[in-house]
């Protein structure tokens, strides 16, 4: 248990001090290359069956290689294994990168560097940002801070606390599969079906746990929960709408993706200044989550693996 607690604390420290590893050394980038290779070699027939195979094999390979590596290293040197475990765990979540990009966009918008802010937005959202005004760009940042608290922070650490490094790696592989092939476009309608469904299942509990955390930590529980219950189903995903709506409700702002959804009907439109409050709320949520996981690893027989 002490080993896993130390690995967790070291992983958080690595994120805060060093940020993201270079892509050449990032385990998630390696997972992405595997997914890209398998996606490029998808057959013309039996594509849904192939998609199931692609999803399951990617998750199993990520877990087997990652867990096998740290266990082998442990036989050689527990200290080296600790470093490897912390590095692998850090690769499954992201704190400082999300905060830094959000601060950079805020700085650009505040200084009137609209095009610079627009150029940074693809690091947070996948939508077309052309033509968005300052308010809608601020909405992009705040939505990302709310949604990414789940899939970029809470979910991987939730599964780490339960199942150790295999749980964190399995979740990150699932989420990467969904990001790359879990679309509803014609190309991935069949091959990405399994990836999208598994990701929905993996995020179901964390997304709703995030709503509760946002309600309690923000100091505006009724407003946050009301927004989540009223607008949580408006986003295409069965999960992402709930934390985004709760996050906006906690801040007292309306979030909008033009032509798709409005979260927080009746609340004021968000502005550039609201980005700072959103970053601080995400940081507070992350700090409380980290403390809770550290205490759980210290006091409870966790992780289960």
* Three-state secondary-structure class, residue 237: coil
Q: What's the pLDDT score for residue 184?
A: 73
Handedness of CA 305, 84, 207, 95 (dihedral sign): positive
**pTM as predicted:** 0.95
Q: Are 91 and 168 in contact (CB under 8 A)?
A: no
Q: How far apart are CA 89 and CA 256, in angstroms?
A: 33
241/237 Cα distance (integer angstroms): 7
CA 222 to chain centre: 25
Cα 172 from chain centre: 9
Secondary structure of 251-292 as H, E, C letters: HCEEEEECCCEEECCCCEECCCCHHHHHHHHHHHHHHHHHHH
How many angstroms separate the Cα of 75 from the Cα of each of 71, 81, 210?
7, 8, 38
- Among candidate residues 157, 180, 224, 247, the one with its CA nearest the CA of residue 42: 180
Quick one: DSSP state of residue 175? H
State the Cα–Cα distance between residues 28 and 35, nearest whole angstrom. Answer: 10
Residue pLDDT tens, the chain, 305 long: 699 999 999 999 999 999 999 999 999 999 999 999 999 999 999 999 999 999 999 999 999 999 999 999 999 999 999 999 999 999 999 999 999 999 999 999 999 999 999 999 999 998 888 889 999 999 999 999 999 999 999 999 999 999 999 999 999 999 999 999 998 788 899 999 999 999 999 999 999 999 999 999 999 999 999 999 999 999 988 999 999 999 999 999 999 998 899 999 889 999 999 999 999 999 999 999 999 999 999 999 999 98
Where residue 253 falls (left for φ over 0; alpha for ψ -120 to 50; beta otherwise) is beta
Q: Which residues contact 224 (CB under 8 A, 6 or more apart)?
A: 211, 214, 215, 218, 246, 247, 249, 250
The upper half-sphere exposure of residue 133, i.e. CA atoms within 13 Å in the direction of its Cβ, equals 6
Of all helices (H) and strands (E), which one includes residue 63? Answer: helix 47-76
How many whole angstroms separate alpha carbon 198 and alpha carbon 69? 25
Longest dimension (CA), the chain: 60
DSSP3 helix / strand / coil % (the chain, rounded to 5): 75, 5, 25
If you search the block for the tokens 């009724």, which residue do you land on? Answer: 222
CA distance 16 to 196: 30
DSSP class of 263: E
Retrieve residue 172's tokens: 């990150």
**pLDDT computed for residue 1 by the predictor:** 62
Give the 3-state DSSP-derived string for 112-149, with helices as H, strands as E and coil as C.
Answer: CCHHHHHHHHHHCCCCCCCCCCHHHHHHHHHHHHHHHH
């Amino acid at each position: 248990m002490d080993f896993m607690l130390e690995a967790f604390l070291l992983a958080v420290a690595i994120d805060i001090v060093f940020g993201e590893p270079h892509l050449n050394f990032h385990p998630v980038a390696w997972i992405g290359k595997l997914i890209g290779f398998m996606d490029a070699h998808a057959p013309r027939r039996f594509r849904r069956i192939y998609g199931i195979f692609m999803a399951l094999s990617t998750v199993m390979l990520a877990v087997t290689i990652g867990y096998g590596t740290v266990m082998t290293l442990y036989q050689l040197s527990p200290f080296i294994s600790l470093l490897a475990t912390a590095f692998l765990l850090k690769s499954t979540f992201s704190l400082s990168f999300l905060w830094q990009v959000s601060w950079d966009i805020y700085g650009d918008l505040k200084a009137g560097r609209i095009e610079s802010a627009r150029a940074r937005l693809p690091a947070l959202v996948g939508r077309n940002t052309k033509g968005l005004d300052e308010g809608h760009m601020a909405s992009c940042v705040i939505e990302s801070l709310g949604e990414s608290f789940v899939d970029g922070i809470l979910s991987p650490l939730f599964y780490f606390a339960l199942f150790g490094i295999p749980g964190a790696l399995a979740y990150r592989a699932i989420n990467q599969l969904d990001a790359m092939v879990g679309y509803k476009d014609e190309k991935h309608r069949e091959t990405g079906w399994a990836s999208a469904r598994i990701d929905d299942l993996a995020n179901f509990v964390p997304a709703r746990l995030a709503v509760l955390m946002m309600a309690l930590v923000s100091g505006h529980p009724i407003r946050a929960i009301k927004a989540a219950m009223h607008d949580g189903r408006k986003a295409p995903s069965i999960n992402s709408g709930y934390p985004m709506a709760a996050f906006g409700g906690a801040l007292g702002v309306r979030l909008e993706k033009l032509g798709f959804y409005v979260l927080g009907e009746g609340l004021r439109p968000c502005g550039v200044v609201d980005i700072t409050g959103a970053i601080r709320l995400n940081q507070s949520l992350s700090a409380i989550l980290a403390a809770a996981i550290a205490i759980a690893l210290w006091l409870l027989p966790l992780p289960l693996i």
